[in-house]
Amino acid sequence: MYFFGIISIILLFLSGCSVQPLPQSHLIYSGVWISQAGNTLTVSPRGTGGFEGKGFKAGGIITTTNDGFKIGLGPFQKQFKIQQNPYLDSSSGKMSMLINDEIFYKKSWNEFDPTIEVEFTAHSKAELAKVPELNLKYIEAQGLLIGKKENHCSANPDYKEYVGKWVSETGEPLIIFPNCSTYAKISGMSFNGGSGIDINKKDNILTINVMTEKDLNTASEAITNQTQTEKNTLSIIKMIVPRFKQSFKINQMPINGIMVLDNLTFHKLADNDQFPLKRKITFELN
């Protein structure tokens, strides 16, 4: 699970150096679009996207053009020509647009099934049998035991409206716990915020602080039956990631269950709505 975190943080850092938010003229294309043939096009306002269909996959940075946009780089790049801008289709009741001679329908935010992803490597059959429990303990430690202090966010009037489970218009989960710790997967990059969130009301900036060494120690103590690989990887993280932050422009504060960060719209889920836990498990025999 920790190896996944390292890769995610590195990708987040690298992409942050080159990704540019979509210009106002292209924001109308943001969202997840599905064609009648089952092709999927994802366009994030943050400047990243993906396409899957017809035996071809593309993903990465979006480059805008006069008549559309491109996704990806080099041989993995795919060009999209907009032949008809998004419109409300009267027969389906969905937003639609014509791209590359194909009609795509926009997927509504409440059609998504967002997941929490946890990666774990087992080194014995006994460990493999305990994987679900270990993963759940990790999520519990990350969400409930780590943070500035108990119920810091829910007790602070500037923060409490942000507390809860959110899903973006592109199906990405964002959880802000009562103690300000977080889980998020935005623009295809996962990161945990053990140190919680900070809100700059003057500049309208929300910052998620990724784990500090103190947070990692707390998580380490909270997880029982840690493997040697986890312990070793934890030590590596402590050396290369003393602190990392990801900031988002607050375009709209939470109002009636809707907020907008970096032009990406998030909808708040009901308290009883659950994020499914997706486990990536590998097995290595010592």
**Of 234, 229, 199, 240, which is closest to residue 215 (Cα–Cα)?**
234
Q: 184: which strand partners?
A: 174, 191
Residue type, 167: V
What whole-number percentage of the chain has pLDDT above 70?
Answer: 63
Coil, strand or helix at 103: strand
Coil, strand or helix at 248: strand
Pairing outcome for strands 40-43 and 48-53: antiparallel
Q: Is the distance from CB of 202 to CB of 216 less than 8 angstroms?
A: no
Confidence band (pLDDT; 50, 70, 90) for 8?
A: very low
DSSP state of 92: T
Domain map (residue ranges) of the chain? 9-107, 113-283
Output the pLDDT for position 261: 92
Bigger pLDDT: 149 vs 184: 184
Bigger pLDDT: 92 vs 254: 254
Instruction: Tell me the C-alpha distance between 41 and 32, whole Å.
Output: 6
**Of 181, 30, 53, 35, which is closest to residue 109 (Cα–Cα)?**
30
Classify residue 96 as left (phi > 0), alpha (psi -120 to 50) or beta.
beta
Residue appearing with tokens 């970096």: 262
Bigger pLDDT: 23 vs 220: 23
Instruction: Tell me the C-alpha distance between 77 and 84, whole Å.
Output: 22
Residue 257: φ, ψ to 5°: 80, 15
Query: Taking 90 as the threshold, does the pLDDT of residue 149 lie above it?
Result: no
User: Hey, which of 62-71, 146-155, 180-189 has the most confident mean pLDDT?
Assistant: 62-71
Q: 249: which strand partners?
A: 205
Confidence band (pLDDT; 50, 70, 90) for 148?
A: very low
Confidence band (pLDDT; 50, 70, 90) for 7?
A: very low
Query: Taking 60 as the threshold, does the pLDDT of residue 177 lie above it?
Result: yes
- The set of residues, in sequence order, having a beta carbon less than 8 Å from that of 93 and lying 6+ positions away, is none
Confidence band (pLDDT; 50, 70, 90) for 2?
A: very low
The contacts found for 67-71 with CB under 8 angstroms, 24 or more apart, are 68/99, 69/26, 69/29, 69/43
Coil, strand or helix at 91: coil
Output the pLDDT for position 84: 96
Output the pLDDT for position 110: 84
- The set of residues, in sequence order, having a beta carbon less than 8 Å from that of 273 and lying 6+ positions away, is 165
The model's pLDDT over 72-99, given as tens digits with 9 standing for 90+, comes to: 887 778 899 999 999 999 988 999 999 9
The class of domain 9-107 in CATH terms is: mainly beta
Question: What CA–CA distances, in Å, run from 252 to 164, 178, 234, 243, 266?
Answer: 16, 21, 36, 27, 10
Confidence band (pLDDT; 50, 70, 90) for 237?
A: very low
User: Hey, which of 221-225, 245-249, 257-261 has the most confident mean pLDDT?
Assistant: 257-261
Classify residue 132 as left (phi > 0), alpha (psi -120 to 50) or beta.
alpha
The model's pLDDT over 183-221, given as tens digits with 9 standing for 90+, comes to: 777 765 555 555 567 888 889 998 877 655 555 555 555
Instruction: Tell me the C-alpha distance between 207 and 250, whole Å.
Output: 10
Bigger pLDDT: 158 vs 211: 158
Helical residues (DSSP H) of 18-173, grouped into ranges: 125-129, 131-140, 152-155
